[in-house]
Structure 1
Amino acid sequence: MKDYQRDFIEFCLANDVLRFGSFTLKSGRVSPYFFNAGLFNTGKSITSIGGFYAAAIRDQGFKYDVLFGPAYKGIPLVVASSIALYNEHQVDAPYSFNRKEKKDHGEGGNIVGSPLEGEILVVDDVITAGTAINESIQIIKSSKASLCGVIVAVDRAEIAPDGSGKSAIQAIQEQNNIPIRAIITMDHIIEFMTEKGTYGNELEMMKAYKAQYGVKQ
C-alpha cells in the first residue's frame, strides 16, 4: 500500500466517508463497511480528494488527453482532480463533463469543457452496477474519442449478484478492454485495519465478508 492510499483511508475515516458497522446494500448484502463519497461536500474535503485522485492517476500511469467526469457526482471530482494535477504535479490536464439534458441554445450540445478528443480518462466515485460508466462509454464513442481507462475512489472487489463470479469492474474491463483502477480497494482497507491492530471484531467481519463475496484473483 502506498502512502497516499494510507492517507486516503485516514482522511475518509476522519470525515465519516468510510465507516464500519452493519450496512444493508442495494444488493441485499449486509456489509461490514460503507463508503459514502457524497460526504466530500466542503471546500477542504473536495480539495483533498482531488489530490488523492491526482496521485492515483499519476501512480497508475494513465496516458490520456482529456479527463471526463460523468454527471453528476463525477463533475466536482474531475474538476478537483484537474486542479490538483496542475497545482501538485504541474500537469495542465484538460477536463470536461456532460449535461444530463442536451442544451439546444448558446453553444449547444451536452458536453461542457474541453472537447472529447483523443484518449479519455473517466473520473468517477464508485462503480456498482456499471450503468453510469456504460453511459459515459457511449458519450465518448459518440464523440469519436477513445476510452483509455477509468479511475474511481474505491473498488469493493466483490462479485456481482448476477452469478457471473465477476465484479462489475471486472466485467466492464473485459467488455471494453480497458483498465479500471481505484485509489483504494477492500484489500487496502483490510491491510490498514491490520496495521492499526485496534479493529478486532470489525477486522474479522471484513475478512469474513471478503471470503464470502470477494472476487477470486
Structure 2
Amino acid sequence: MTLPRDTDPLAQDFVAFSVEAGVLRFGEFKTKAGRLSPYFFNAGLFDDGAKLGRLAEFYARRLIASGLQFDMLFGPAYKGITLAAAVAVELARHGRNVPYAYNRKEAKDHGEGGTLVGAKLAGRVLIIDDVISAGTSVRESISMIQAAGAVPSSVVIALDRQEKATDDGSESAVQFVQRQLGLEVCAIATLKDLLQYLETNQDPSLGAHGAKVAAYRDRYGV
C-alpha cells in the first residue's frame, strides 16, 4: 500500500510502538472534558526499561529534527519527571548533553528544601510532558521557570490530540499554549498521524477503529 506523501515516518513508527506497548488503546473512554473518546493514550504504561528507552528515543529524535533551541529540560511533576530524565540520557547519547530539572508537588522543608530538584533553571528551558490537556501544567511550569530567572522557550509532548479545549472554543490546548502563552510546541505524533496509521494498517481489527476516530475528530477536532 502506498502511503500519503505527507506521511511522517517518525510519527507512524511512534503510533505503532504505542499500540504495540498497550499505551494507545481503542474503545470508549471518558476524557477530562467529559467527552467519550474512541481512543486513549496513557503514557504511564511506558512502564519498563525497554519501553521507556524507546519512548526517550522518539522524543530525542523529534527534538533534534524540530530545530528547537533550548539549553535545558524541565519535567513537571509527575510524568514529566521520568520523561525529562530519560530524554536527557538519550540526548546525551546523541551527543547533546543538557541539564534537566523537575519540580515536587509539595515543598521540602529539609535538606536542599524548596520545590525544584536537579540543575539550576537557567537559559532557554524546554518543558517536556506527555500531552497537553488544558495547559494548566504548562502555565505552572512557566511560572516556576520565570520565578527562577530563566526563560520558558518551548514544549515537547508525545501526542497532540488536536481537539478543541472546550466545546464552545475554536482552538486546542496546544494552540492555546502557542498563541496565548507564546511557546513553540512540537509533538512526536498527532491525531492526524493516528488516523493515517489506522487507515493504512493491514490489521482489520485496528482499521475498524478508524471510522470512530475520524467521527470524533469531525466533532471535536480543530
**Structure-1-length-normalised TM-score:** 0.94
Which whole-Å deviations, capped at 9, do the CAs of 1:54-77 have from their partners, x for residues lacking one?
111111111111100001110010
Tell me the equivalent position of 1:206.
Answer: 213
For 1:200 and 1:172, the matched residues in 2 are separated by 32
The answer (yes or no) to whether the contact 2:72–2:99 under 8 Å persists in 1 is yes
Q: 1:49 aligns with which of 46, 55, 58?
A: 55
Q: Flag the 1:8–1:200 CA change in 2: closer, same or farther, 3 A.
A: closer
Is 1:110 paired with 2:111? Answer: no
Aligned-pair distance for 1:165?
1.1
Greater alpha carbon shift after TM alignment, 20-29 vs 6-15: 20-29
* Helix, strand or coil at the partner of 1:154: strand
For 1:37 and 1:54, the matched residues in 2 are separated by 16
The two structures, once aligned, show a CA RMSD in angstroms of: 1.3
In the alignment, structure 1 segments of 5+ residues that lack a partner are none
**Structure-2-length-normalised TM-score:** 0.92
For 1:211 and 1:188, the matched residues in 2 are separated by 15
Tell me the equivalent position of 1:134.
Answer: 139
Is 1:76 paired with 2:82? Answer: yes
* Helix, strand or coil at the partner of 2:180: helix
* Helix, strand or coil at the partner of 1:176: coil
* Helix, strand or coil at the partner of 1:180: strand
For 2:207 and 2:86, the matched residues in 1 are separated by 35
Which whole-Å deviations, capped at 9, do the CAs of 1:16-67 have from their partners, x for residues lacking one?
1001122222222111111011101111111111111111111111111110
In the alignment, structure 2 segments of 5+ residues that lack a partner are 1-6
Q: Flag the 1:162–1:210 CA change in 2: closer, same or farther, 3 A.
A: closer
Aligned-pair distance for 1:200?
3.9
Is 1:147 paired with 2:152? Answer: yes
Aligned-pair distance for 1:86?
1.2
| Residue identity matched to 1:209 | Y
* Helix, strand or coil at the partner of 1:100: strand
Aligned-pair distance for 1:6?
1.7
Q: 2:125 aligns with which of 120, 124, 127?
A: 120
Tell me the equivalent position of 1:7.
Answer: 13
Tell me the equivalent position of 2:3.
Answer: none
Which whole-Å deviations, capped at 9, do the CAs of 1:171-214 have from their partners, x for residues lacking one?
12111211111111000001111221534431111111111110
